[in-house]
Amino acid sequence: AMLARSCVQSLSSVLGPRVACSIPKRFAGHSHWSNIKRVKAVEDVKRAKIFGKLSREITNVVRLHGEELSGNPRLGVVLAHARSVNMPKQAIDKALKSGSGKLEGVAYEEYLYEGFGPLRGGFLVSVLTDNKNRTVQHLRTIFARNGGELGVSGSASKLFVKKGLLTAHVIPQSESGFLDEAINAGAEDVLEIEEPSNKDTKQFEVHTDFVSMMKVRKSLLNTSVEGITNVQAEAVWIPLNQVSLEDADDEQRGEIDKLINELEDLDDVQSVRHNYDIQTQE
């Protein structure tokens, strides 16, 4: 298989968008320490929101499929995410116990909602909620005020296919061995994500069919090839085709950004997938 070098749109999972915070230059009358504290407060709020979403998902996955990892591969994916973002062990254990019934907790239901944004870009919004009517109303409002609409079942999902997505960091001298290991384990595609700020390792995305995802991850974790680290896996909906933003005006671009951010910020929302070609917006 040929390695395609690509600046790939970051597919997030339950983790939400990455946050880049910069500390403003110091001006007269402004406290540098105050700026640092403000940035830290924003990061703390973001981290708490991520932990809250993960707690819901852990609880729900255990409630539906049990605590045994051998019979619940989805739980392994969620726990890997939780540990990768340094979710406290106490919070993970509490979520596990809530899902198994050892602790009393809220019962969440899982739903996948579909919708459209400006330029008829498709959206898949995964939610965990204890109040479906409340969540639907929030979603409908967010779509409507940002040039979109909430769709019916099957309206947008036909624009995507469910796949497994793994990410890994690899030292340059192990690149060839990593590619061989991934392909032999069943990977469908391997893409290098360009990260100019990281000179010591390269980051790769490995695409698999959904059923083979954890098998490929296990092979990469247990391989004799050295220098493969931070191997994470998640189930994702991959767009069959992307909507270009080259001809979008400023208002449409703003609505798209705002729509994505507002959906991801909703507490009930676990993940947001869309088929916009974000690269064309840069």
Structure tokens at 6: 């690509």
pLDDT of residue 42: 54
- Percent of the chain exceeding pLDDT 90 equals 45
Handedness of CA 30, 32, 33, 38 (dihedral sign): positive
pLDDT of residue 16: 42
Average pLDDT, stretch 165-183?
92
Spatial separation of the C-alpha atoms in residues 67 and 116, rounded to whole Å: 36
Q: Per-residue confidence at 65, pLDDT binned at 50, 70, 90?
A: confident
Spatial separation of the C-alpha atoms in residues 225 and 210, rounded to whole Å: 24
pTM: 0.63
Give 197 or 82, the one with higher predicted confidence.
Answer: 82
